[in-house]
A and B are shown apart, each in its own frame.
Chain A
Amino acid sequence: MVSLWQLFWSFFKIGTFTLGGGYAMIPLMEKELVDRHRWLTGDDFLDIITLSQTMPGIFAANMAVHIGWRMRGVPGAVIALLGNILVPILIILALAMGLHYLQGNAVVEAVFKGVRPVVVALIAAPVFRMAKTAKISRYNFWIPVLAALLIWLLGVSPIWVILAAGIGGFVYGKYLEKKEVLP
């Protein structure tokens, strides 16, 4: 059986040495969990990716929770998750404190003045990338447009918009979508 320490160490490495967010962890996770330790098969790993994307929350955290749970039950889930996020939390916390301390510093302010519009661009760009993977067509483009306008212009909370989309999708999928007829 995999020891909790081993599990912690693997997820510690995965969490600590990936820059660029949760999806950037996939190759490192695969190398560590599938190729190196053979805790999972490649098929299992792909299934867990789909599962973690489907479930709400943070992708990398969901991966850690499910894989930890598979290896060592609930304690495994807790340990894998902790290993995955502990160092990132401590690093960002140290930076948060440092930058707060430096608030009003002319150099820091100058740097961030340059960075802010780029952050807005980095949030705007995925809209166009994700529009492709979400399969936007002339029949469904009103969904993202309506969602954006409700939030942007009417100040509706995104939580309500997501809830409405979830319920709408369920009703449509369950009762309205054309059922495939068997030949």
Chain B
Amino acid sequence: MIFWKLFYTFCKIGIFNFGGGYAMIALIQNEVVEKNGWMTAAEFTDIVATSQVTPGPIGINVATYAGYTSVVNAGYDPFWGVAGAFLASFSVVLLPFLLMLIVGRFLLKHKENPVVKTVMSVLKLTVVGLIAAAAALLVNPETFGTWTASPLQFCLSIALFAAAFFASLKWKTSPILLIVLAGAVGFVAYYLM
């Protein structure tokens, strides 16, 4: 039953997410693409791109969109897709919501606790590896194309990747601008030409 799995999966993603939106993207990628096969890597990157250029927390946006896509890909009609979208976003905030209410005020008093600080610094380090793995898993023919199928797409993909990576690190260029520019390049290179 996909709805139960969706609920369980996104509850898990919510409660195990330490380290912000990109960490959550890594968790969602692993659960919905690698583990459950609810969508392809290409579909997933499309979801991340769309979620970056619309308002709101990235984690909520990706969860909502992924909930919809998972259900529709499983063969249900869009009505159930909408239900899946609401279910995924509800599930992803449910456990953190309860935890914030129950232990939030306690933790606020103990924020200088050395054990809490050590746990957080180890988690921060781990999350760096988590995101690196997600990026590595997303480098594949679905997202970059292949040399044999289309040398143009393959080379352009690598150039766009390198340019965006450099601009993001060096100049802190806004992800929204980079996505819009890449979309324009894609439109010219793959549609007009």
Chain A residues close to B by CB (< 8 Å): 15-23, 25, 47-48, 50-62, 65-66, 69, 74, 77, 81, 84-85, 87-89, 91-93, 95-97, 99-100, 106-107, 109-131, 133-136, 140, 143-152, 155, 157-159, 161-163, 165-166, 168-170, 172-174, 177
User: How far does the alpha carbon of A62 sit from the alpha carbon of B60 in the complex, in Å?
Assistant: 12
Instruction: Say yes or no: B17 contacts A115, CB within 8 Å.
Output: no
Instruction: Say yes or no: A177 contacts B56, CB within 8 Å.
Output: no
Residues of A within 8 A of B120 (CB): 54, 169
Total number of residue pairs linking A and B with CB closer than 8 Å: 389
Instruction: Say yes or no: A162 contacts B185, CB within 8 Å.
Output: no
Contacts A97-B81, A173-B114 aside, 8 further interface pairs with beta carbons under 8 A come to: A56-B16, A57-B99, A60-B57, A66-B104, A88-B57, A95-B50, A117-B144, A144-B132
Instruction: Say yes or no: B78 contacts A97, CB within 8 Å.
Output: yes
User: Is the contact region of chain A dominated by helix, strand, or loop, or is it mixed?
Assistant: helix
Chain B residues close to A by CB (< 8 Å): 12, 14-22, 24-27, 30-31, 34-35, 42, 45-61, 64-65, 68-69, 72, 78, 81-82, 85-86, 89, 92-93, 95-97, 99-101, 103-104, 107-108, 111, 114-139, 142-145, 153, 156-158, 160-165, 168-169, 174-176, 178-179, 182-187, 189-191
User: How far does the alpha carbon of A95 sit from the alpha carbon of B145 in the complex, in Å?
Assistant: 25
User: How far does the alpha carbon of A118 sit from the alpha carbon of B135 in the complex, in Å?
Assistant: 11
In this complex, what residue of A is CB-closest to B193?
A: A110
